Each structure stands twice: as structure tokens, then as C-alpha cells.
Amino acid sequence: MGIFGTCPPAPLGRLGGFELPLVVVGVTHPQTCLILRGRLRALREAGFRVVLISGPGALATQTAAEEGVEHVSIPMKRGISPLADLVSVCRLCAALLRLRPVLTEFSTPKAGLLGNIAGFLCRVPVRIYVLRGLRLETVSGLQHWILKITEWVAAACSHVVVCNSESLRSQAQALGIAPRRKLRLVGSGSSAGVDNQRFAPRCETRSNDMRTRLGIAGDVGVIGFVGRLTRDKGIPELLRAFEEVLENFPQALLLLVGWFDESEDPLGPADRARIEKHPRILCTGFVAETAPYYRAMDLMVLPTWREGFPNALLEAAASGVPVVSTLVTGARDAVWHNHTGLLVPPGDSRVLALAIERLLLDPALRRRMGVAGRAWVSERFVSTRVQRHTVGLYRKLIVNLGGEPIPILGRESIPAVARDAATAGD
């Protein structure tokens, strides 16, 4: 069969007499597999055979094992690298021709581009591009146009573009990345949702107190951040705001739960040195299990310049922690202003400092926002709800786009998240 020929789905397993249709889920970097936890398992338990494709790495192998899915390693460079990208496309095509999936879901910029090109070339029946954010929003000139073209190509090669948030869908349409009819929002947004049992307030869990483990006194105001330490995440503004906060709250501590990402928009040497040497800044490095760290925070800050739908804000809210973020694409969907947290303009360290100080000054306000945040997340963004809507959308797409119907397994064979999938909306 030629690379441009039709690629009929070839199930790789059976369950209860039914052949299992194959779904491929692909991301660029193994660390991104963290946001696939629960999603891969939900697809498998809904009656799919699932294969994870990502760059090689222990975290990807571990995630696949924990989720009960297969893993195929295909290196993909995150930066622009034409020759390496061509090799990756060939490897992706070879994998898809061998696996013959009924549906592919690729996300993150490079895997979204290369994976959807490969899916188009192999004529995969249902091709989904999960848009998790737009890096082009924070660059200009030639790089902006290159990124815009790559997003357009990824969307053009897919049947459906699933957007993380309503503001991201609107922005993608405004930029001409895809027509409105192709852009979908699953449920209220978020591609992963939050496990509100794992992310729970300090008073609802019996886990060891992270403050004690980190050596933080109980009366210290802890300002938290979770994510990559980059310019686009607003770390330079956060550092400037923290210096202003220290003038009024000299015992405050900035807890950075994340790592220095050198692959794109890295911090300058001065900002990195400030983080590493500052006596009131504690940086953990990469952490796979972040839930206990939220419970050490009094508030969480994400002064980002661009997002798709930041799960860190939802995780903090589910943990009963009020949040401060910015009025940018994606982030503004993850905060209910003046109820679950505060929204400020991006890049304004003075306004950011004032928002942080407002919450540090008012413990009652922090408690109210924490309670409201957990209730809001539990109602709209709990992971089982997001997964149910995702499975329902994928089933509909397979039928509507000409794929083979998914066998409906016996109710005793699958959990509640999958039993209602056939009727879930998008």
C-alpha cells in the first residue's frame, strides 16, 4: 500500500468477542505525557486500543504503563529543524501505516504539525488536532508567520481542531487558523480536567504537610507558581512583583514548582541567577506529582502571556487555593474573577504585586475564594466529566466521518466515565 493510499483501521486486540478499534495519541515531549494521565485510560476503558506516541523518555514509558496503553517512541525536535522534521514525518507515517488507527489525536506544536501531516498522508479516517495554546501570540515578525503557517497546516490536515478554551477557539478563528465549523470546544474547556480527589484542600487530606517537608513556618505567606520557568509564563514580571511584595511582607516566600525550560523563550541569565540565589525564593525543579505542593501555598500566581487552558490554575482551585492570573487567551477562562481569584493585565508587575498583597492581607477572602474555586472546578472541570465528553465526541466523529462504529461493551465491562460516552455532547 502506498503512503497516499487509504489506511483502513486495523484493531490490535479483542475484548468480550469484539475487536478493539485503535486510537493513536501523540505529543512531542515525554514531559507532556503528564497531562495525558486519565485521558489515555478513559479512551482504553471506553473500548479503544490506545497507542501513545511521543519522544523517548522514562516519563512517557511510565505514563503508558500506568494508563495501560502501548507506547511508541519517535523523536521530534521542538524547534525548527527541517531535516529532522522530515525524518520524524517518515517515522510517523511508517508507524501509522503499521498500526492503521481509526483515529489519531496529536497535540503540542511540533507533534500537532508532523503527526497531522503523517495522518493526512496515510489517510487516517479521523484526524484530530488538540490545540493547547498559540505560541505565535507572543512572537512577531518572521517567526510569527512561520508559526501561523504551521498551525494552519496542522489544522488543515485534521478533520477537527479541539480547542482547550472558548477564548482559544475565538482566537484561532480570528487568526484564520481554521474555520469556525472545524473548531470544537469539549464541555466547558480543558483537555484533561482535574482529579478533585488528588487535588484537594489541606484540611481534606491526610498526606504529610508539604510545608513541614520544605521547612516553611506556618505563619509564612507562601506565593506559589507551578509550571515551566520561562518568559512566556511571566516569570520576569513575577520576580519584579515579588520584590515589591517583600517591602510590605518581608517574611513572604515565593515557591516555584517547575524547571528552567531552555528549549523555548528561556529566562535570561540575570533572572535565573536571581531565582537560584534569592533567600526568599524556593525552586523545586521538575516535579511529577505537584498535588502536595499546592497545599503548601496561600495563593497561586500564573502571570502568563499565553495559554490554551492552564490546568495549574484549576489544580490550585481544586486544592482550595485562590489564584492570580492574567487577562490573556486561555487564562481568563480558568479564573472566575473576584470569585475564585483575580485577573490582571499581562506584563504589569505593579498591578500583579497589588493583587498578591490584597490576598495576603485578607485571609477571609482567601478562604472564600478557595471554597468557591473548589466548587467551581468540581462542577465544570472534574476530569471524569471532561473525559466523558471527549470519548463521546470521538465516538461521534468516527461514525460521522465514515469510520467503523465502536462496539458498545457490556455495562459491567467499563466504568461510569465510559458508559455514558455514546450520549455525551461536545
Extents of the domains making up the chain: 13-193+382-423, 202-380
Contact 294, 313 (CB under 8 A): no
pLDDT digits (tens, 9 = 90+) for 39-62: 999 999 999 999 999 999 999 999
**H/E element holding 61?**
helix 58-67
Residue 91: CB atoms within 10 Å: 18
> What pLDDT sits at residue 19?
63
Please give the grid coordinates belonging to residue 419: 458508559
66-to-55, 243, 419 alpha-carbon distances in Å: 17, 42, 22
Please give the grid coordinates belonging to residue 48: 479503544
Residue 42: CB atoms within 10 Å: 24
> What pLDDT sits at residue 20?
78
Question: What's phi and psi for 323, nearest 5 deg?
Answer: -125, 155
112-to-119, 356, 421 alpha-carbon distances in Å: 10, 36, 25
Report mean pLDDT in 10-residue bins for the chain, 426 residues: 39 50 93 86 92 94 94 89 93 96 94 96 96 89 92 96 94 94 89 88 66 89 96 96 97 95 86 95 92 95 93 95 96 95 97 98 96 95 90 88 47 36 38
**H/E element holding 371?**
helix 363-380
The third-level CATH classification (topology) of the domain covering 202-380 is: Rossmann fold (3.40.50)
Region of 132 (left: φ > 0; alpha: ψ -120 to 50; beta: rest) is alpha
> What pLDDT sits at residue 37?
87
pLDDT digits (tens, 9 = 90+) for 238-274: 999 999 999 999 999 999 999 998 777 899 999 999 9
Strand 126-131 to strand 160-163: parallel, antiparallel, or no bridges (unpaired)?
A: parallel
197-to-46, 73, 205, 222, 420 alpha-carbon distances in Å: 22, 31, 9, 23, 21
**CATH superfamily of this structure's domain 13-193+382-423:** Glycogen Phosphorylase B; (3.40.50.2000)
Examine domains 13-193+382-423 and 202-380 and report if their fold is the same: yes
| DSSP one-letter code for 402 | T
